[in-house]
C-alpha cells in the first residue's frame, strides 16, 4: 500500500520526505471508523464523487480534521483462480477472512466467482483467529496468509502457510510452512505431494510389518 501511494505521489510531482516522520503508531486491522474515532473525528468523511466500487478507502487526518482521501484496489494473485479450482476439485472448502472493507471483499469474490466460498470482511486479527477456531469444529483447517494481522490465525490453524516472498517476518515465523514463491498454485501442488508422501510412509510401514 505504501509503495502504491509513494509512486502515485511522485507521478504528481510530490516527493515524499520519510526523514520527516519522527513518530508513528500502527493499529493492526483497524478500519476507517475506528481510526477516525482515535483522532477525535466523530464520523468517517463521505466518499461521494469518487469511483470507490470494489476498492478500499483510506483517509488522511491533520489532528481531528480530514485532509485527504485515497482509494486502493486489490487484484487476486496470479493463477489464484486456477489454484482454487484445483482445491475445489479435491473437495477442499475455501473461506476468505480479510480486514478489507465489505466492498473490497465482494469485489474479490466477484473476480473469483464459482471457486471462492464464504467471505468475512472488516476483521481484526482476533476475528480471523475466531473464524479459524469455528472452522476447526467442522474439520482440519489450513490458514494461508502473509501479513502481520494474519499471524494469530496462522498460529491457531492446524496448518499455517505463509507466502514467503511478500510475507511479513511475523507471518513467516508463525507459519508451519513457508512457500518461497507468490504463486498460490503451489498450494494444491504441495497438498498432492504431501498425500503421496503419506501414502508412501503407510506402504513402507505395512511392508515392514509384513516381513
Residue that has been written with the C-alpha cell 520519510 in this structure = 18
189 shares its domain with 105: yes
Q: Which of 2-6, 124-128, 152-156 has the lowest mean pLDDT?
A: 2-6
Degrees, nearest 5: CA angle 148-151-154: 145
Confidence of residue 113 (pLDDT cuts 50, 70, 90): confident
Mean pLDDT is highest, among 39-53, 94-108, 126-140, for: 126-140
Model confidence pLDDT, tens digit, residues 127-151: 999 999 999 999 999 999 888 889 9
64 and 84 fall within a common domain: no
Once rounded to an integer, what is the mean pLDDT over residues 89-117?
83
- Give the integer Cα–Cα distance in Å for 151 and 170: 7
Q: Alpha helix locations (H) across 97-180?
A: 102-111, 125-136, 151-156, 169-174
Distance (Å, whole) CA 210 – CA 200: 15
Is the model's pLDDT at 51 over the cut of 60?
no
* Domains: count for the chain: 2
What is the span of the domain harbouring residue 98?
Answer: 80-198
Write the pLDDT tens digit of every residue in 197-206: 999 999 888 8
Which pLDDT score is estimated for 69? Answer: 82
| Domain final position from 53, 72, 91 | 72
Residue 32 lies in a domain: yes
Q: Which of 23-27, 61-65, 101-105, 126-130 has the highest mean pLDDT?
A: 126-130
Q: Which of these ranges, 99-103, 163-167, 207-211, has the smallest mean pLDDT?
A: 207-211
| In a shared domain, residues 90 and 192 | yes
Taking only Cα atoms into account, the Rg of the chain, rounded to an integer number of angstroms, comes to 21
Q: Residue 71's pLDDT is what? A: 79
Higher-pLDDT residue of 81, 20: 81
**Are residues 190 and 171 both part of a single domain?**
yes
> Is 134 inside a domain boundary?
yes
Look at residues 52, 72, 92 and tell me which one is the last residue of a structural domain: 72
Same domain membership, residue 13 and residue 62: yes
Q: Does 63 lie in the same domain as 146?
A: no
Is 209 within the bounds of a domain? no
Residues 31 and 98 in one domain: no
Provide the pLDDT for residue 135.
95
User: What pLDDT does 118 receive?
Assistant: 87
Nearest CA among 114, 111, 124 for reference residue 55: 111
The reported pLDDT for the residue numbered 201 is 92
63 and 8 within one domain: yes
DSSP labels, 49-90: TS--TT-EEEEEEETTEEEEEEEE---PPTTHHHHHHHHHHT
Q: Domain with 109 in it: what CATH number?
A: 3.40.50.1000
Whether 180 is in a domain gets the answer yes
Of residues 174 and 26, the one with the higher pLDDT is 174
Same-domain check for residues 142 and 185: yes
Domain boundary among 50, 72, 94: 72
- Statement to judge: residues 147 and 177 lie in one domain: yes
Which pTM was predicted? 0.68
**Residues 118, 64 share a domain:** no
Examine the domain organization and report whether 105 and 17 are in the same domain: no
Amino acid at each position: 500500500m505504501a509503495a502504491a501511494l509513494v509512486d502515485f505521489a511522485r507521478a504528481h510531482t510530490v516527493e515524499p520526505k520519510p526523514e520527516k516522520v519522527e513518530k508513528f503508531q500502527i493499529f493492526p486491522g483497524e478500519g476507517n471508523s475506528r481510526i477516525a474515532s482515535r483522532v477525535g473525528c466523530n464520523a468517517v468523511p463521505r466518499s461521494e464523487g469518487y469511483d470507490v466500487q470494489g476498492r478500499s478507502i483510506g483517509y488522511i487526518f491533520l489532528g481531528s480534521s480530514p485532509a485527504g482521501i485515497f482509494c486502493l484496489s486489490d487484484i487476486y494473485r496470479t493463477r489464484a483462480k486456477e489454484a482454487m479450482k484445483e482445491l475445489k476439485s479435491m473437495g477442499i472448502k475455501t473461506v476468505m477472512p480479510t480486514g478489507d472493507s465489505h466492498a473490497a471483499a465482494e469485489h474479490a469474490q466477484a473476480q473469483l466467482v464459482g471457486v471462492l466460498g464464504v467471505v468475512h470482511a472488516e476483521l481484526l486479527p482476533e476475528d480471523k483467529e475466531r473464524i479459524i477456531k469455528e472452522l476447526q469444529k467442522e474439520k482440519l483447517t489450513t490458514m494461508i496468509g502473509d501479513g502481520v494481522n494474519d499471524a494469530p490465525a496462522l498460529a491457531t490453524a492446524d496448518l499455517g502457510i505463509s507466502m514467503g516472498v511478500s510475507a511479513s517476518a511475523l507471518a513467516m515465523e508463525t507459519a508451519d510452512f513457508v512457500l518461497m514463491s507468490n504463486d498460490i498454485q503451489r498450494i494444491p501442488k504441495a497438498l498432492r505431494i504431501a498425500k503421496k508422501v503419506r501414502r508412501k510412509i503407510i506402504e513402507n510401514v505395512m511392508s515392514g510389518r509384513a516381513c
